[in-house]
Amino acid sequence: MRVLILGGTGDAAELAARVAAIEGVEAITSLAGRTREPSIPLGDFRIGGFGGVAGLANYLRQMRIDLLIDATHPFATQISCNAVDAASEVGVPRLMLIRRPWQKVSGDRWIEVDTVEAAAKALPLQAQRVFLTVGRQELGTFANLKDIWFLMRIIDLPTPDAVMPPGLILCDRGPFALHHEREIIIHHKIDTIVSKNSGGDATYAKIIVARELGLQVVMVNRPAKPPGEQVMDVEEALAWLLDKCKQ
Ligand code: NAP
């Protein structure tokens, strides 16, 4: 059995590591190649786009892929849509592994919006020092907010020609510990956090700190993923895989 894991998430990396331990199953993880020094998953991997639906379908055929697990980030919709069409064209069973979104709990002060553009518009009048954690590719959306100071946490430095809001770039990669997030947020006198509702534990600590300190969070809700079989954690994905291996 050969499984293609569409990756770029911690769940995908964990799944690849677990699959590597299963006799008779070979996993290839695919990474988009967005980060300069990606975390290399266990087992085989490849890096870079496939070239749309046709490219992915060709890859599935050429590599004789038996199963496809789409474990991409909840905000990566294009690749998930491509996976639907390519898997159906080639007749490869497909599963989506999408972790649970964070739920607002008592003490949270969230402003929920549907897009990153809406997050920029929703930044409340009193927001002066914003912790922006939506990723490098989205920084330009905040560029015209000249009266706000941004602490922008991203994995890789932006290109020199990137249009960005005023503030400070912090290059770092999760998971982030609670004490680390508390220190950063207090040190930079942050009053508002902008986050995608990524779910999972790796980047949740900032949301806990916001609750502790009573800070506002502009939370970007997830876009819709395409239809199809879905599970929410690695255990369930493994169960699906093992079940398919028996068939
Ligand atoms: P996207 O908009 O859904 O995909 C854009 C294009 O990037 C796809 O059409 C595909 O190119 C290529 N691509 C995306 N994921 C790929 C993968 N795993 N393997 C090979 N090619 C891939 O994706 P995105 O939002 O830019 O995210 C890119 C990657 O970063 C994803 O793998 C995702 O898991 C990870 N990520 C995204 C976010 C986020 O907030 N969007 C956050 C953390 C991690 P072709 O059409 O040429 O095949």
Task: Kindly state the DSSP code that residue 4 receives in the 8-state scheme.
Answer: E
Probe residue for ligand 1, chosen from 63, 72, 153, 172 as the CB with the greatest number of ligand atoms within 8 Å: 72
Q: Does residue 98 have a pLDDT over 80?
A: yes
- Residue 32 beta carbon below 6 angstroms from any ligand 1 atom: yes
Task: Kindly state the DSSP code that residue 39 receives in the 8-state scheme.
Answer: P
Mean confidence (pLDDT) of the chain: 96
Q: Does residue 126 have a pLDDT over 90?
A: no
**Going by CA atoms, what residue is nearest to atom 24 of ligand 1?**
76
Q: Does residue 125 have a pLDDT over 90?
A: no
The tokens of 19 are what? 């699959």
Q: Does residue 207 have a pLDDT over 80?
A: yes
Which of the residue ranges 45-49, 55-59, 123-127 would you say has the lowest mean pLDDT? 123-127
- Residue 6 beta carbon below 6 angstroms from any ligand 1 atom: yes
Give every CB contact of residue 130 below 8 A, 6+ residues apart in sequence.
123, 142, 148, 149, 150, 151, 167, 190, 191, 192, 193, 194
pLDDT, residue 124, reads 73
Residue of 57, 109, 118 lying closest to 82 (CA atoms):
57
Q: Does residue 69 have a pLDDT over 90?
A: yes
Q: Does residue 55 have a pLDDT over 90?
A: yes
pLDDT, residue 157, reads 93
Q: Are 80 and 104 in contact (CB under 8 A)?
A: no
Q: Does residue 247 have a pLDDT over 90?
A: no
pLDDT, residue 93, reads 98
In this prediction the pTM is 0.96
Q: Does residue 246 have a pLDDT over 90?
A: no
Mean pLDDT of the 81-95 span: 98
Mean pLDDT of the 168-191 span: 97
pLDDT, residue 66, reads 98
Which of the residue ranges 34-43, 163-172, 230-239 would you say has the lowest mean pLDDT? 34-43
Mean pLDDT of the 26-53 span: 95
Per the document, the length of the chain is: 247
- What share of the chain has pLDDT > 90, as a percent? 96
pLDDT, residue 189, reads 98
Q: What's the CA-to-centroid distance between 78 and ligand 1, angstroms? A: 7
Q: Which domains does the chain have, with CATH numbers?
A: 2-100+225-246 (3.40.50.720), 109-220 (3.40.50.720)
Mean pLDDT of the 83-106 span: 98
Helix, strand or coil, per DSSP, at residue 200: coil
- Residue 74 beta carbon below 6 angstroms from any ligand 1 atom: no
* Gap between the Cα atoms of 224 and 243, Å rounded: 27
